[in-house]
């Protein structure tokens, strides 16, 4: 599978749902990257405090798993706002 950077203008190549995208400004691309980096750092911290491996599919507790799910949702919604 070919990977496309989320800030690339070519990001529409592998998306079957949204059929049209607008070109993002450099500031919007930077905001999107910052939001994703913040989310990734938060999820890494969840693994750290739970004593599990970052990048793993398991968390130490249901509460940490829910925190992960909510962070993923928050990142998605923030990115959708930026890219709308």
Quick check: 64 and 49 in contact, CB under 8 A? yes
Query: Residue 33 in contact with residue 82, Cβ under 8 Å?
Result: no
What is the DSSP-derived secondary structure letter of residue 24? P
Share of the chain above pLDDT 70, in %: 83
Q: Are 43 and 68 in contact (CB under 8 A)?
A: yes
pLDDT 10s digits, 13-26: 666 666 677 889 99
Residue 30 has pLDDT above 90, yes or no: yes
Tokens of 10: 């070519």
More confident residue, 44 or 13: 44
User: What does the block give as tokens for 46?
Assistant: 């969840």
């Amino acid at each position: 599978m070919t990977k496309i950077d989320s800030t690339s203008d070519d990001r529409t190549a592998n998306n079957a749902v949204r059929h049209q995208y607008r070109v993002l400004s450099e500031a919007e691309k930077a905001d999107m990257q910052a939001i994703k980096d913040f989310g990734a750092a938060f999820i890494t911290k969840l693994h750290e405090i739970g004593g599990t491996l970052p990048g793993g599919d398991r968390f130490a507790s249901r509460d940490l798993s829910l925190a992960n799910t909510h962070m993923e949702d928050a990142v998605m919604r923030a990115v959708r706002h930026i890219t709308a």
